Structures are given as C-alpha cells and as structure tokens.
Chain A
C-alpha cells in the first residue's frame, strides 16, 4: 500500500468527455484571465492531485492560515501559499461567485469559480514564507513583482498543459501510484532535485534505497533562478547516471513541472507533501533544502519537520557525505574514522565552477559519464 494522499483523497479536477466539451464552450463566453507558465504549472498540479487536498487557489481564510500557521484552515499541514495574483484591470467586473476562464497563450486551460477576491501584504508574505524581506532573495523578488489582488476558488482543468520537451518523463500522481503498485513497492523514497547529480547525491539516494522498496528521482522542471542547471541538462545527467550505476528495477525517474521558490524549510515540507501525493512514503530532505544564499541555517529544513508529526510521509535526514581516499568511497562522518587529509568535500559550487570553466570534475566528485554529458552542453546553466 503506497502513501495515502494528503488530506485523504487524491484530488482530480481534470474534466473529460462531454463535460469537457461543454466547459470548453462555456469558457468562450467567460471573462478571461491570462496566466503565466508558473501559474499554469500550479493549475496542472492542482488538477492532477499533486497538491491534494487543494482543489483550487487559496481563498483568504486558507491563505492566512498557511501564512501564519503553516496549515490549511482545517488544520491539514500546508506550508507554501498556492495563490493566483491578478490586477484590478485584469479582474474587470468579475465578482465573487463568478466563473472565469484561465488562459495560457490566449487558450482557455481551466475554469475557475472565484470564491474570494482579496488584497495581500507582500512584505508580510515574504517575511512569513521566505523569512526575509530582502528583494535580493529570488522568491521575495518574485513576490514583489506580483499583482495587487489574489483570487481563490476551485478550478477544473479543461485543456491539457505540459512543459514542452519532457512529456516522456511526466507522470501524474495517479500514474506513479499505479506504477509503484505494479512494481510491488510498498515503501518508496523520493528524491527532490534541481541539480545534476554528483557522488553525494548518489550516496544519499542509495543509502535511503537500502531500506525501502523503490526510489523516485523527481527533479523539478520549470522556472529556476539564473545560474541553476537547465532542465535538459539535469535530465540528461540523470539518464547517464541511471544507465550506468542504478539497478533498473528499483528506481523510477520522472520530472515534476513545478517552480522553485527557494523558501528553504517551508518548501522542504511542501516538497515532501507533493511527493506523498505521488505515492511516496519517505522523502530525503537535503542539507539547506530549497535554500539559497545564506537566508536559512544549514539544518533548518530538517528541524521544521518536528512541527509536523501528522505529515504522513517520513522525512529522511542523511548526513553530509564526502569521498574518503583511505576508505576508497563515499562515507559520512559517523562511519569514517579518517582525518581531513583523506576527505574530499563535494561542493556543488565548486563543481559548477569547474563546469563553467569547461573542466571535468574529478571522479571523487562526479561520475565521469555524468560529467561528460554535462560538458557536452554549450551552456548548461539558466541565463
């Protein structure tokens, strides 16, 4: 039995058949609000149940609870406000209770019942979610650029939207759940990433896999900040790693279209909830998970989980690893008796600098097959 969906039921707001046809026709007559790709990904994640139990964008009551208590108004853990921002001009004459068509590139993708229209305090939002008001923080900067009103209410997806180029690896929660069941997996650990894999990542994944039936490697595709690895580079790097170093029958690789928010501890919990909806029972929480700069302490993303004994997915905190020349492999401080002179610390920043300079990171940091794939890209980083 894989993990029970968050809130008890996998939300499904994808409309099909005759009802879809009727709603597509209805959408033509409705007031239209154009959304960004980021919002489109949220719409998709709501509709397919990745954000269960959300059935739409947060109304003010839930928003306030999430902001201040990290829970929905019914006390279900929820740490990241999933909101839809609009300007007064975009909203026009729309009133609470009206239906609107949410469009992407002019085409209606969803119909939303506007239950609530409310103002919000962006600084308060930034302080609560990102623990800083500093506009240099990428999530805060994005927040300050959002529009003055939020609208909340349930939605129905009437047109499939996807992140072009990764359809082959895009599985929705219903699909991963069937897949895990077919594989006979009862315990599944998820690994969230926005990086190309180095030996440290491989170590934590395999350490976790030792104790469960299967591993879901689940990188995010979608908006990332400048300097992060491009989505296609991450996917190609994992293809190489899995091909050469992973047992095929105990790992699933799939991508998740969801923006990075860099909200550190709050986002770590959010990442865990989403993976619970995909059927995972365990979630690897990284050191400084979803962090950026020095906004969060290195283990804040671990500590926050103690506030959620009712989360329904088990967080795994795996110690920082390093390569030990004396041990001849990846180890951590608890199992390696050797001194610093033998230890090769694996730093993502250092690897990034080597790749930027066109140099191949050493085999004590990155698998050669992975390094070769990454270096094949003219520019592997988001500009």
Chain B
C-alpha cells in the first residue's frame, strides 16, 4: 500500500540546488527521496542525540566495569 503523503513547499532555489546535488553526486532518485532521507537523519539524531542505543550504553558500562 502506498504511504499517505502531504505537500510541503520549499524555495525554488533550494529545490534546484538539491537537483544539482543529486545530478552531481547520485545516490538519490528524486528530490523527494533526498529530503525524506535528510529529514529522517535529523529526526533520528534528535531522538537519540548523544545517547547511544541501550545496547551501546550497556557495552560502555561493561567496558568501564559497571556491568
């Protein structure tokens, strides 16, 4: 099933810069794919921040001798 989408406006200038970036660097099939990737990266970064996953925290605690 196709994911439900909404429209967001961005400046034409930014849109064209992304298009140029994709053309030069590849890796994305569309501006939309690029934006979804970047936004996800930022949001995941926000949610996890400097904290590692719980497993990584446990690993650090083990290496320090706490566990």
Contacts and interface: CB of A to CB of B under 8 A. Distances in A.
Interface in B1-57: 38, 41-42, 44-46, 48-51, 54, 57
B50 A14 contact: yes
Given A171-B66, A175-B57, A182-B67, A17 B50 contact: no
Interface of B is mostly: helix
Given A47-B50, A157-B50, A179 B45 contact: no
| Size bracket of the A interface | 20 to 34
Contacts of B44: 17
B48 A16 contact: yes
Given A48-B50, A174-B51, A19 B45 contact: yes
Contact of B45 (A17, A48, A157, A168): A17
A354 interface: no
Interface residues of B, number: 18
Contacts of A179: 61, 66-67
Contacts of A178: 54, 57-58, 61
B57 A19 contact: no
A265 to B, nearest CB: 32
Max chain A Cβ within 10 angstroms of own Cβ: one of B41, B49, B54: B49
Contact of A252 (B38, B49, B66): B66
B39 to A, nearest CB: 11
A175 B56 CA distance: 10
A259 interface: no
Contacts of B51: 12, 14, 172, 174
A18 interface: yes
Contact of A16 (B50, B54, B58, B66): B50
A20 B41 CA distance: 11
A174 B57 contact: yes
B61 A16 contact: no
A172 B44 CA distance: 20
A14 B49 CA distance: 5
Contacts of A174: 51, 57
A13 interface: yes
A15 interface: yes
B44 to A, nearest CB: 8
Nearest to B57: A178
Contacts of A47: 50
A16 B67 contact: no
Contacts of B42: 18-19
Contacts of A19: 41-42, 45-46
A157 B41 CA distance: 17
B59 to A, nearest CB: 10
B64 A16 contact: no
A160 B49 CA distance: 12
A130 B14 CA distance: 53
Interface in A257-286: none
Given A12-B51, A157-B50, A174-B51, A18 B45 contact: yes
Interface of A: 12-20, 47-48, 157, 160, 168, 171-172, 174-175, 178-179, 182, 252
Given A12-B50, A18-B41, A18-B45, 15 more contacts: A12-B51, A15-B45, A16-B49, A17-B44, A17-B45, A19-B42, A19-B45, A19-B46, A157-B50, A168-B64, A171-B61, A174-B51, A175-B60, A178-B57, A182-B67
Top 5 nearest A-B pairs by Cβ distance?
A: A14-B50, A12-B49, A14-B49, A17-B45, A178-B57
29 contacts: A12-B51, A14-B49, A14-B50, A15-B45, A15-B49, A16-B45, A16-B48, A16-B50, A18-B38, A19-B41, A19-B45, A19-B46, A47-B50, A48-B50, A157-B50, A168-B64, A171-B61, A172-B50, A174-B51, A175-B57, A175-B60, A178-B54, A178-B57, A178-B58, A178-B61, A179-B66, A182-B58, A182-B61, A182-B67
